[in-house]
Amino acid sequence: MSLKSVVITGASSGIGKEMAIEFASRGYALGLTARRYDLLKEIQKEVEKLWGKAIPVELRVLDVTIYRDVFRVIKELDYALGGMDILVVNAGMGKAKPLGTGNFQGDRQVIETNLLGAMASVDAGIEVFRQSKKQGMIVGISSIAGTRGFPGNAAYSASKAGFTNYLEAAKLEVEGEGILVSTVLPGFIDTPMTQNLKSKPFSIDSKTAAIKICNSIERRKKFVIIPFFPWYFVHKLLKWIPNFLFGRFKKSFERNSKN
């Protein structure tokens, strides 16, 4: 019997890496992409050490800002795995700096990666599933940060807000085609991307986050906040809290992080 398969973009570290290991433990064949092949190779070796050749692992170098490569690589992995069941759009980056400090090129990279690269990945996944007529699942890893524009992290917030809305539109576009699109909004997760943040309230480690995300995927959830408590309530609150209170909230966490 052939294994179910999952393709994960941005799989070399953080949540992507932990999801790869978790899916392997559940018997999924893996298609992993990232910019650094050496880090992908380490994951492949870890999977082989734990499960031998029972879990196929396909690796591809991919920079999601080279959009034509996104379509090519996802099609390649679909073929190599004998059919892709799940696509996890996880590749992302963050460069938190205040506006007006000469960081526009960094902000542009964030938008090109987190929004345009993610959009290309979703579009490529839909194309593959439509052509194969498979009831596949596309999972977009967005962020609670997309709920409200966070000062000092404007481009990241904008990229995730855009991606969340894109995913919601995609859900409706493919409705009735057997393709399920899921939106995942993590709160603060301890990953290399967040290690330099001044404060990370209610953070969880990337392994715990990966387990929760994999559980939600297997349950075919369409919208998930990780972890549910307290981020579900924070997500609701962020939409309505006045700017002057939001500013105090932010400054309070910054003060606490310096103590």
- Indicate the residue type of 222: K
Closest CA to 114 of 137, 135, 96: 96
> With contact defined as beta carbons under 8 Å apart, do 212 and 113 qualify?
no
b or e along 26-52 (b: 16 or more beta carbons within 10 Å of the residue's beta carbon)?
eebbbbbbbeeeebbeebbeebeeeee
- Check whether 83 has a pLDDT greater than 50: yes
Task: Locate 73 and state its tokens.
Answer: 């690589």
Closest CA to 208 of 188, 194, 238: 188
* Residue 110's CATH number: 3.40.50.720
Lowest mean pLDDT, pick from 127-131, 165-169, 223-227: 223-227
pTM (predicted TM-score): 0.89
**How many Cβ atoms from other residues are within 10 Å of residue 152's Cβ?**
14
- Predicted confidence at residue 202, as pLDDT, reads 55
Lowest mean pLDDT, pick from 47-51, 72-76, 83-87, 233-237: 233-237
- Predicted confidence at residue 247, as pLDDT, reads 64
Residue range(s) defining the domain that contains residue 157: 5-258
As annotated, the active-site residues are 156
Q: What three-state secondary structure class fits 93? A: coil
- Predicted confidence at residue 198, as pLDDT, reads 55
Cα distances (angstroms) measured from residue 63 to each of 8, 22, 161, 251: 13, 24, 22, 35
More confident residue, 184 or 191: 184
If one counts the domains in the chain, the total is: 1
Mean pLDDT of 28-43: 98
Q: Which residues pair with 183 in a beta bridge?
A: 140, 223
What percent of the chain has pLDDT above 90?
67
- Predicted confidence at residue 232, as pLDDT, reads 60
Q: Give 115's pLDDT tier (boundaries 50, 70, 90).
A: very high
Average pLDDT of the chain?
A: 87
Q: Torsions phi, psi of 242, nearest 5? A: -65, 155
Task: Locate 137 and state its tokens.
Answer: 């699942």
- Check whether 194 has a pLDDT greater than 90: no
Highest mean pLDDT (candidates 149-153, 169-173, 244-248): 169-173
Lowest mean pLDDT, pick from 109-118, 221-230, 243-252: 243-252
> What pLDDT digit, counting tens, does each position of 144-168 carry?
887 877 777 889 999 999 999 999 9
Cα distances (angstroms) measured from residue 86 to each of 62, 73, 91: 18, 15, 15
More confident residue, 8 or 101: 8
